[in-house]
């Protein structure tokens, strides 16, 4: 009788959990779920590590072991199976209860769940193609009806789809569209990237992060809508209009601080970018830099103020040195542009991403910004360059001389030092973005670098840059 009562209470508790999307669970609800599925011994582990619903959906077999100390493979599989089972139940529950639900369900892309954390992300699936059923801006304030968009010319294109300039509610926007033949396949990695980017973007609010206006999630019209930035990419500024930076050294520093602020914010939100390049930094007409392209980004558990790697689990698992504590995606492949990637990524594929990997990429961006040369310039072949970075500890020469040999390096010494710190081989020796931000603040306070921008000339060179930037170099890819 007692057993039957307990089973009934368990069923009622699970039924109650179905009404709340996993992504909205608190750490207390996650702990309660562990107890309900037969693993009460891990309840405190999840509570102590503050694993909420969003982080729960990002865990895989590897991270359950490395981050939470759950050594039993069978237990890890059972936990993930229980999560996926509840996800399906939530979908069915909300689909059948259309009178009180919007028809949009938060769930997880479950293909290869046990082997790939990239696939184990929060997705948003529509249960109907009828836009009226999902147009609920109270529950989904980012939702945009496709009919509200006016499509313009193509300004970017990639394998996943294309980016168009458009108009929404009377303002210029950039519309990132998934190709139709791709988003009809549930197994598509590109569709998974779309949902993951949507999940991350909906959380972000920062002046140096591109403004996310909303998304269309109808079956035939999946797209992300952003503010339109007409300043082009940092890559375009550096390589198409090098004289602008050459005549305004303070502008280089302003760009540096913009990127640091953006990345410090992302890491404070436990988000790794994982594809930080000069092409993924767009600018406004006033040279304000904004980070874009979160398709490869990932939310993980780490302390951005103390270490460049995920935090240690508070369970009784064997402790690790911080350079060993990485997010483990369990696939021997590389994401991102290889000329900006850290050696641990080039050596071990997608198994060693950490906050320090973003810092390394930032170091390469600084090099490119202050030398006007891409990191592989002195080697030529990008693949050969990447091999040398990974296996020979090669780094491009930082000192950059002008044509007049009597003039010293055009790169400020503190920037040279910062570049060297950022691309250290050992990830643990690289500074965090919080530390970089603090260091730059001290430099400003000590007036070791003058931040004087001539507004009139600045506006002129910006306009010259905008006028000379073709749509193909708009930076949207």
Residues designated catalytic: 275
Q: Helix, strand, or coil here: 452?
A: coil
* Cα gap 113→353, rounded to integer Å: 18
Q: Which two tokens stand for residue 421?
A: 């710190």
* Cα gap 235→240, rounded to integer Å: 8
* Cα gap 467→279, rounded to integer Å: 18
CA atoms within a 13 Å half-sphere pointing along the CA-CB vector of 388: 14
- Size of the chain, expressed as the number of residues it contains: 477
Q: Which two tokens stand for residue 123?
A: 């997705």
Classify residue 300 by burial, with Cβ atoms within 10 Å: 0-12, 13-18, 19+: buried
Rounded to 5°, the CA angle 275-374-200 comes to: 15
* Cα gap 166→173, rounded to integer Å: 5
Q: Are 242 and 235 in contact (CB under 8 A)?
A: no
Rounded to 5°, the CA angle 52-56-59 comes to: 145
CA proximity to 256, closest of 231, 281, 279: 281
CA proximity to 290, closest of 21, 475, 443: 475
Q: Are 175 and 184 in contact (CB under 8 A)?
A: no
Q: Tell me how far the alpha carbon of residue 194 is from its chain's centroid.
A: 12
What single-letter DSSP state applies at residue 362? Answer: H
Q: Helix, strand, or coil here: 327?
A: strand
């Amino acid at each position: 009788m007692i057993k039957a009562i307990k089973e009934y209470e368990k069923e009622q508790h699970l039924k109650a959990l179905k009404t709340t999307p996993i992504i909205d669970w608190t750490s207390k609800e996650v702990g309660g779920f562990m107890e309900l599925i037969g693993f009460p011994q891990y309840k405190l582990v999840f509570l102590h590590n503050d694993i909420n619903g969003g982080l729960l959906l990002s865990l895989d077999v590897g991270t359950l072991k490395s981050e939470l100390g759950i050594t039993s493979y069978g237990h890890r599989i059972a936990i993930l199976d229980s999560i996926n089972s509840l996800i399906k139940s939530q979908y069915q529950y909300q689909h059948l209860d259309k009178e009180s639900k919007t028809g949009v369900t938060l769930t997880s892309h479950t293909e290869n769940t046990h082997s790939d954390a990239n696939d184990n992300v929060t997705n948003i699936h529509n249960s109907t193609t009828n836009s009226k059923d999902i147009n609920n801006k109270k529950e989904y304030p980012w939702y945009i009806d496709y009919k509200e968009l006016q499509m313009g010319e193509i300004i970017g294109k990639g394998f996943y789809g294309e980016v168009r300039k458009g108009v929404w509610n009377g303002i210029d926007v950039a519309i990132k569209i998934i190709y139709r033949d791709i988003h009809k396949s549930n197994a598509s990695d590109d569709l998974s990237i779309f949902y993951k980017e949507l999940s991350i973007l909906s959380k972000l609010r920062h002046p140096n992060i591109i403004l996310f206006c909303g998304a269309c999630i109808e079956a035939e019209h999946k797209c992300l809508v952003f503010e339109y930035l007409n300043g082009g990419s940092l890559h375009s500024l550096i390589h198409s209009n090098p004289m602008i930076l050459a005549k305004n050294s303070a502008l280089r520093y302003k760009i540096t601080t913009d990127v640091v602020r953006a990345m410090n914010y992302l890491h404070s939100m436990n988000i790794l970018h994982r594809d930080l390049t000069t092409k993924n930094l767009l600018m406004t007409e006033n040279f304000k830099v904004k980070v874009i392209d979160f398709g490869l980004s990932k939310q993980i558990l780490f302390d951005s103020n103390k270490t460049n790697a995920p935090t240690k689990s508070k369970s009784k698992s064997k402790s690790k040195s911080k350079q060993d504590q990485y997010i483990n995606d369990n696939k021997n492949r590389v994401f991102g542009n290889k000329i900006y990637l850290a050696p641990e990524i080039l050596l071990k594929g997608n198994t060693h991403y950490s906050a320090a990997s973003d810092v390394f990429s930032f170091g390469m961006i600084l090099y490119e910004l202050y030398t006007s040369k891409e990191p592989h310039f002195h080697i030529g072949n990008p693949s050969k360059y990447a091999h040398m970075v990974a296996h020979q500890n090669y780094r491009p020469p930082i000192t950059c001389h002008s044509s007049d040999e009597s003039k010293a390096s055009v790169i400020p010494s503190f920037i040279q030092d910062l570049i060297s710190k950022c691309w250290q081989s050992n990830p643990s020796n690289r500074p965090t973005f919080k530390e970089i931000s603090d260091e730059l603040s001290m430099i400003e306070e000590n007036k070791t670098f003058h931040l004087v921008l001539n507004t009139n000339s600045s506006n002129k060179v910006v306009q010259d840059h905008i006028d000379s930037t073709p749509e193909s170099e708009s930076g949207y890819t």
